[in-house]
Structure 1
Amino acid sequence: MVASDPLRPRALRLLRLLSRPSFHFFLTGLLMLLGFALAHRISERSGRDQLSALSTERLELYASNLAAELGRHASLPSLLAIAPTLQTLMQSPGDEAARQAAHQMLARVNVRAGTHQIFVATPQGEVLAASEPLTPPVRLAEAVAQGRVHFFAADPHTGSTDFYLLHPLRQSNAVAGVVVVRFNLAPLEATWVDLGLRSQGERILVADEQDVVIMSSVQAWKYAVLDHADPSRRKALEASARYPQAIGPDLELPATLEVHQGQQVKLAVPPPGGPAPATAAKPMLAQQRQILPLGLRLVALSDLTEVRQRAQYAAWGGAAFGASIGLLVLYLSSRRRALHQLTQAQAALREAHAQLEQLVDSRTAELRQTNDALKTQIAQRLQTEGELLQASKLAVLGQMSAGLSHEVNQPLTALRALARNSIRLLEGGRTDAVASNLQIMDDMVERMSRITRQLKSFARKADEPVAGQVLLLDCVRNALLLLEHRSRSLDVHAQLDLPAGLRVLADGNRLEQVLVNLIGNALDAMQHEPVRQLHVAVDALDQGRRARVRVQDSGPGVSDADLPRLFEPFFTTKPAGEGLGLGLVISAKIVHEMGGTLRAERATGELRGMSFEFDLAVDTWTATPETHDV
C-alpha cells in the first residue's frame, strides 16, 4: 500500500491530461503530420517508379523507331557500289557519257528508294555524279578520311538534321570514290514535335557524340549542349561546321544518367510555340539510352509535376486520415458533454425559432400594408400624371380658344355673305358666279373641318401611349396648324428643315403635344421681339438610327440663373396667370417615355433665342433634308 501511494497522483494527473481537449488537439496534429509525411513519401515513390517504367518503355520505342528509320537504307550504298554504271564511272571519271549515265541511274534509284539525294564523290569531296545538283557537306572529306560509314550533318538551308550513309568505291585496292545516300530526319522529328505538343509531360531529344542536340521534340533545344560548354568548347563546336547556326544554351543535364530509375533534374521548358525559353525550371525525370552503332544518346525527359501533385493530394489525404482518427478520439471522449450541450442548444433554438416566426409574421403584415400603400400611391400618381397631361392639353386649348373662335367665326361670316350673294345671283341667272361662290364655300368648310378635326385629335385623352410609325413632318404641321392663329397674328416666319419621308417610332398625339408646348413657348418668347423667326430642324444621330429634333426661336432667351430650373415643376418665366410651369415638365416626361431626352440650351447661329431639342428612334430615314417655309 505504501509503495503504490506515489503512483496514484500521477495516474490522476495523467487521466486529467488525457481528458483535456488540448491534448486531443495535440494528438490530432501529430497524427496529421505523420500521415502527411508518410503518404507523400509513398505516393511520390510509387508515382516516380510508374513514370520511370513508362518512360523506359517509350524510350525503347523511340530508340527502335530511330534505329529502324536510320537502318532502312543501310544496304543501299553497298548495292549501288557494285552497279556497273558506277564501276564504269570510276574507271573513267572524266568521261561525260559515263557521268550522264550515272546521273540518270542515281535519279531513278533516288525516286524509287524515297531518299533525298544520292551522289558519288571523290575522297576529297568533289561530286562526280548525283541524282540532282547539290553542294556536298563539309564533313564529307573528313568522314571519308576517317573511314566512316555514316555521319550526321545539318542542312545549312533548313536547319534540319540529315543522315548520310557512305560506302567506298575501290580501284586497285585504293579508295577512288564514295557512294553517299542522304535522307532527311525532319519527318521523324516533326512526328516527335507533334507528340510533344499533344503530351506536354514528355520531351525527347537526341545528342551526337559531341553532346549537341541534333533532334528534339522541343524546337528551342535544337543544337543546344546537354552539359555545360565553356567558351573555348563552344567556339570549337561552332567552327566545326557541323551545325548551321550558333550553339544553343546549355541544358545543364548530367553527362551520365541512370538508364532504368532515371535521375531527377530541373530544366527550363519553353512554352509550346514560344520562341523564348521559360524562366521557371520544372522538376523532370531524365533517362537515356545509348545507340552505340550510331554514337547517339537518346534522352527522355518526363515531367514530375503531376507526380508531385498526386503526392501532395495523397499527403493531404493522409493528413486527413490522421486528423480523422484524432477527431474520432476527441469525439468519443467528449460525446456526453456534446449531447448535453446539444440538448440545451435545441431548446434555445426552439425558443429562438418561435420568436423569429413571431417577428416574421409581424414584419410580413407591415410589409403587406406598406406594399398596399405603395400600390395606392403609384395608382394615384399615374392618375395624377394623366390628369396633368390632359390639363396641359386643355390649358393649351384654352389659350388658343380666342384665336380659334376667330378662325372659325371669320369663315362662317364669309359663308353667310357668300350664301346670300349666291341667292341673288341665282335670281339673276348668273350660274357661273354661283358655282364660283360654292367652290369658295367648300374650301372654307374644308379648312374649318381640318381645324376642328385637329382640335378633336389633340384634345383626345389617351389611356395608354401607343408607339407607332408616324411622319415627323405631319406632326410638326399639325402643331403649327393648332397655333396658326397666333403665328399669323405675330407675323412669325416658320422654317422647317426636315425630310418629308422621315418616320419616327412614337405616339403621334403625345408627340404633337410636345411640339405644341415647345412651339407655343417659342411664340410667347417672341411676341415682344421685332424679328420673329421659328426654326424646326432634324439631325441624324447614331448613324441614322436616331433623329434629333430642334425647335429654335429668335426670342430673348433665358437667363443663366433660370436655365437649370426650366424642367422643375411649377417653375415658369411667364407673368402670373399665363402659365402653370408644367408644360416643359410634362413634355420632358413624354419624351423620356418615348426613349429620348429633352434638353434646353441657348441657340447659336442666326437665331439668338432658345433651342429645345430631343431625340427619337427612326423607323425610315430619307437622306436629304428638305426646307419648308410655312
Structure 2
Amino acid sequence: MVVPASLRPRALRLIRLLSRPGFHLFLTGLLMVLGFVLAHRLSERSGREQLSALSTERLELYASNLAAELGRHASLPSLLAIAPTLQALMQAPDDAAARRAASQMLARVNVRAGTHQLFVADAQGQVLSASEVLTPPARLAEALAQGRTHFFAADPNTGSTDFYLLHPLRQASQNSGVIVVRFNLAPLEATWIDLGLRSQNERILIADDQDVVIMSSVQAWKYAVLGHADPSRRQALQASARYPQAIGPDLDLPVSLEVHQGQQVSLPPPGAKAMLAQQRLIVPLGLRLVALSDLTEVRQRAQLAAWGGAAFGASIGLLVLYLSSRRRALRQLTRAQTELQQAHAQLEQLVDSRTAELRQTNDALKTQIAQRLQTEGELLQASKLAVLGQMSAGLSHEVNQPLTALRALARNSMRLLESGRQDAVATNLKLMDDMVERMGQITRQLKSFARKADEQVTGVVLLLDSVRNAQVLLEHRSRALGIAIEVDVPAGLRVRAEANRLEQVLVNLFGNAIDAMQNEAERRLLVRVSAQDGGARALVQVQDSGAGVGDEQLPHLFEPFFTTKPAGEGLGLGLVISAKIVNEFGGSLRARRLEHGMSFEFDLAVEAWESQDV
C-alpha cells in the first residue's frame, strides 16, 4: 500500500505513538477495566439467573407443602355434614340434648382427625355446638355473608395463623348453618423458622390479600405490611380484627412483583442485606408466597470473575506490549549491526595508521592492570583482617558466658567427687560436654554472622526447651543476684528455628537483662509468648525490671560495637548478632521501653500450638 506524500507525516506520528510503551500501558489498563466490567456483569447475570431458577423450584416445593397441609382436612367438613347427629341438630337447633350430642361427636372427631377445633354455627355465625368451648372468630360472619369456603385468621392468644374450612348445612334446600374446621399452621411455620435459622441465605413469607405477612420464617416480619402503609390504612387493617397485634413495620418489598420474576430488594433487620425477591401466587387461597434469596454469594462470585477478567485483559495488553517491544528491539538490533559493519570497515582502513598508537595504549593498560591487581590484593587483605576482628570480638563475647558456667560446673564436680556423688558428677560432665559442643556451634554461627551463608538450616524447635537451656547457662548469675525468673511459654509450642542459634539469642537477651538489674532493688525477669496473625506467629518478649536506656540511646542499640556497659564489660555485638539470627528465622528483633525496665521482642513462625495457654 502506497501512502500519499501529504499523509506520510501523520502516518509516521501515528506509528511512533503506537510504538510507545506508554500507549501500550494505557491499552493494558483499558483492557483490564473492560475485562473487569464485562466479567462482573456476565457473572452476576448468570449467578442471578441460576439463583432465580433454584428459588423458583423451592417456591414450588413450599407451595406444594402448604397446599398439602391445607388440603389434608379438605374432605372432613363434607363428611361431617352427612352425620345423623348434625342433621338432628339442624332440625332442632334449640334442643339442648341435640347440641350436647353434637358437641361430644365433634370432640371425638377433633381428637381423631388431629384438628384444632370443630364447631357448628347457624346462618348468623352463632355457635350451636363445638368440640370445646370457644368464641367464634370475628371473620366468621363476614365469611358467611360472602359465601366463602375458607379463610385465614389469627389466634388472639398465641398470635399464630389459623386456617378455617367451611361447609354449609342445608335444610329444605336452604343454608341453615355451617360446619367449621379449624387447624393451626404454627407447626408448618415453625418448620420454616427452623429452616431460616439453619440457612441464612433464604427467607420465606406469605402475604394475604391485604398485603400483610401472615406467615414468615423470620418472626420479626410477622404481620408487617408489604410496601408502604399510611396511617389511615394501618388503622383500617387494625380495625378489621384479622390480626391479633399491632401491624408491624413496612417491608421495602414491591407489591407488584411479577410471578417467578426475580427483583433485587433490601429489607430491614434482621435481613438487612441485598436479596433477590421472587413470588408465587396461590390464587385459590388469595395468598402470595414470596422467597427472598441472599445475593452475597452471587456478588462474591461476580467479584472473582471480574478480577479474572481484569487479569485476562492485562495478559492481552502485556502480550501486545511484549510483541511491540520485541519488534522494536529487533529493529534496534538490525540498525546496530549495520552501524557495526560500517564502523568495522572504517577501522580496517585506519588499522595501519593506528598501530603505533595502539601499542602505546596497550603498554599503558598493562601498567594499569598491574596497579589494579596490587590494589585489589591489599583491599582483600584488609577485608580479611576486618572479618577476623569481628570473629575474635564475637567469640570473646559469646563464649564468655558458657566458660563461666563450665567453671562453676567444674568446681561443683570437684566437691561432688570429694563427697562421693558419682552420679551427680556424671550429670555435670554431661552438661559440660553439651556446653563445649554449644561453644563450637556458637563459633560456627559467628562465621555466618561475618559472611552471609548460602543456606540457613532451620527446623522445628520446642520453644520452652530453648528457654530452659538458656536459663541453665545463666543460672549461676541469676541465682547469685536473687533474680525472680517467670516463664510464661506453652509446653507444646513448636516454632521454626534452629535450636542452637535460638538459644544464642535468648542467652544474649537474658544476659543483658541480668546486667541491667545488678544495681536494682527489684530484680525480675519475665519471658512471655503471645499469639500473632491468628496463631501463625508467636511473639517472644523478654522483659526486665532494670533501669533501661535513654531516648537518645534507644535508636543505637542494634549498631555494632555500641554498648551502655562500662569499658571492658561489653563489646556491643550481642544485640547485633541476635538481630541477624532472628532476621534469618524470618522475624525481627525490637526494643521497647517499659515503665520500669526494657522489653526485647521478636517473632517466630509457629509450627504447632499444642497448648492453649497463650
Shorter-chain TM-score category?
0.5 to 0.7
1:379 Cα deviation from its structure 2 partner: 3.9
1:296 lines up with 2:269 in the alignment? no
Bigger shift: residues 232-241 or 64-73: 64-73
* 2:54 aligned partner: 54
Name the CA shift for 1:142/1:366 in 2 (closer, same or farther; >3 Å). farther
8 Å Cα contact 1:212/1:225 also seen in 2? yes
1:294 Cα deviation from its structure 2 partner: 0.9
* 1:326 aligned partner: 317
Find the aligned partners of 1:319 and 1:102 in 2 and give their Cα distance: 77
Pick the aligned partner of 1:373 from 396, 419, 423.
Answer: 396
Name the CA shift for 1:197/1:359 in 2 (closer, same or farther; >3 Å). farther
1:127 Cα deviation from its structure 2 partner: 2.6
Give, as a single letter, the amino acid of the residue that structure 1 aligns with 2:249: P
1:42 Cα deviation from its structure 2 partner: 1.8
Bigger shift: residues 214-223 or 330-339: 330-339
* 1:202 aligned partner: 202
Query: Deviation string for 1:532-584 (max 9, x for gaps)?
Result: xxxxxxxxxxxxxxxxxxxxxxxxxxxxxxxxxxx968x9xxxxxxxxxxxx9
* 1:284 aligned partner: 275
* 2:531 aligned partner: none
Find the aligned partners of 2:383 and 2:30 in 1 and give their Cα distance: 48
1:133 Cα deviation from its structure 2 partner: 2.8
Query: Deviation string for 1:428-476 (max 9, x for gaps)?
Result: xxxxxxxxxxxxxxxxxxxxxxxxxxxx99xxx99999xxxxxxxxxxx
1:39 lines up with 2:39 in the alignment? yes
Name the CA shift for 1:316/1:129 in 2 (closer, same or farther; >3 Å). same
Query: Deviation string for 1:127-153 (max 9, x for gaps)?
Result: 322222333212222222222111101
1:15 lines up with 2:23 in the alignment? no
Name the CA shift for 1:10/1:74 in 2 (closer, same or farther; >3 Å). same
Name the CA shift for 1:144/1:359 in 2 (closer, same or farther; >3 Å). farther
Find the aligned partners of 1:365 and 1:213 in 2 and give their Cα distance: 87
1:30 lines up with 2:22 in the alignment? no
* 1:148 aligned partner: 148
* 2:106 aligned partner: 106
Find the aligned partners of 1:358 and 1:74 in 2 and give their Cα distance: 107
8 Å Cα contact 1:49/1:261 also seen in 2? no
1:383 Cα deviation from its structure 2 partner: 6.7
Give, as a single letter, the amino acid of the residue that structure 1 aligns with 2:283: L
Find the aligned partners of 2:384 and 2:209 in 1 and give their Cα distance: 88
1:93 Cα deviation from its structure 2 partner: 2.8
* 1:306 aligned partner: 297
Mapping for residues 220-369 of structure 1, pairs under 5 Å: 220-270=220-270, 278=272, 282-335=273-326, 369=392
SS in 2 for 1:180: strand
Name the CA shift for 1:169/1:568 in 2 (closer, same or farther; >3 Å). closer
SS in 2 for 1:169: strand
Query: Deviation string for 1:502-523 (max 9, x for gaps)?
Result: xxxxxxxx9xxx9xxx9xxxxx
Query: Deviation string for 1:281-340 (max 9, x for gaps)?
Result: x3322222221111111112222232222222222221211111001111222248899x
Give, as a single letter, the amino acid of the residue that structure 2 aligns with 1:16: R
Query: Deviation string for 1:77-98 (max 9, x for gaps)?
Result: 1111111011112223333332
Name the CA shift for 1:251/1:365 in 2 (closer, same or farther; >3 Å). farther
SS in 1 for 2:267: strand
Give, as a single letter, the amino acid of the residue that structure 1 aligns with 2:221: W
* 1:219 aligned partner: 219
SS in 1 for 2:249: coil
1:215 Cα deviation from its structure 2 partner: 0.7
Find the aligned partners of 1:99 and 1:269 in 2 and give their Cα distance: 51
Find the aligned partners of 1:295 and 1:365 in 2 and give their Cα distance: 96
Name the CA shift for 1:42/1:568 in 2 (closer, same or farther; >3 Å). closer
* 1:78 aligned partner: 78
Find the aligned partners of 1:112 and 1:336 in 2 and give their Cα distance: 90
1:62 Cα deviation from its structure 2 partner: 1.5
8 Å Cα contact 1:162/1:185 also seen in 2? yes
Name the CA shift for 1:337/1:17 in 2 (closer, same or farther; >3 Å). closer
SS in 2 for 1:6: helix
Q: Percent identity?
A: 73
1:159 Cα deviation from its structure 2 partner: 1.1
Give, as a single letter, the amino acid of the residue that structure 2 aligns with 1:139: R
Name the CA shift for 1:194/1:324 in 2 (closer, same or farther; >3 Å). same
8 Å Cα contact 1:150/1:166 also seen in 2? yes
1:270 Cα deviation from its structure 2 partner: 0.7
Find the aligned partners of 1:106 and 1:180 in 2 and give their Cα distance: 11
Find the aligned partners of 2:3 and 2:27 in 1 and give their Cα distance: 32
Name the CA shift for 1:261/1:147 in 2 (closer, same or farther; >3 Å). closer
Name the CA shift for 1:196/1:389 in 2 (closer, same or farther; >3 Å). same
SS in 1 for 2:73: coil
**Bigger Rg over Cα:** 1
Find the aligned partners of 1:125 and 1:325 in 2 and give their Cα distance: 78
1:358 Cα deviation from its structure 2 partner: 12
SS in 2 for 1:334: helix
Find the aligned partners of 1:219 and 1:308 in 2 and give their Cα distance: 27
1:179 Cα deviation from its structure 2 partner: 0.9
Mapping for residues 431-580 of structure 1, pairs under 5 Å: none
8 Å Cα contact 1:118/1:179 also seen in 2? yes
Which structure 1 segments of 5+ residues have no match? 272-277, 340-356, 391-455, 466-509, 519-566, 572-583, 590-596, 598-630
Name the CA shift for 1:41/1:380 in 2 (closer, same or farther; >3 Å). closer
Find the aligned partners of 2:382 and 2:174 in 1 and give their Cα distance: 114
Mapping for residues 391-470 of structure 1, pairs under 5 Å: none
Q: CA RMSD in A?
A: 4.4
1:230 Cα deviation from its structure 2 partner: 0.5
Name the CA shift for 1:366/1:138 in 2 (closer, same or farther; >3 Å). farther
1:170 Cα deviation from its structure 2 partner: 2.5
Name the CA shift for 1:377/1:66 in 2 (closer, same or farther; >3 Å). same
Find the aligned partners of 2:281 and 2:116 in 1 and give their Cα distance: 27
Find the aligned partners of 2:306 and 2:62 in 1 and give their Cα distance: 34
Find the aligned partners of 1:141 and 1:61 in 2 and give their Cα distance: 34
Give, as a single letter, the amino acid of the residue that structure 2 aligns with 1:374: H
1:167 lines up with 2:167 in the alignment? yes
SS in 2 for 1:132: coil
Find the aligned partners of 1:145 and 1:201 in 2 and give their Cα distance: 43
Find the aligned partners of 2:87 and 2:235 in 1 and give their Cα distance: 42
Find the aligned partners of 1:309 and 1:91 in 2 and give their Cα distance: 69
Query: Deviation string for 1:149-183 (max 9, x for gaps)?
Result: 11101111211100000112233444332211111
1:380 Cα deviation from its structure 2 partner: 4.7
Find the aligned partners of 2:91 and 2:316 in 1 and give their Cα distance: 91
Query: Deviation string for 1:44-101 (max 9, x for gaps)?
Result: 2222222222222221222122122111211111111111011112223333332332
SS in 2 for 1:120: strand
Which structure 2 segments of 5+ residues have no match? 331-379, 414-418, 429-474, 483-516, 525-543, 545-614
Find the aligned partners of 1:363 and 1:321 in 2 and give their Cα distance: 54
Find the aligned partners of 2:127 and 2:4 in 1 and give their Cα distance: 107
Name the CA shift for 1:372/1:213 in 2 (closer, same or farther; >3 Å). same
Q: Give TM-score, length-normalised by structure 1.
A: 0.55
8 Å Cα contact 1:226/1:253 also seen in 2? yes
Q: Number of matched residues?
A: 393
SS in 2 for 1:238: helix
8 Å Cα contact 1:203/1:217 also seen in 2? yes
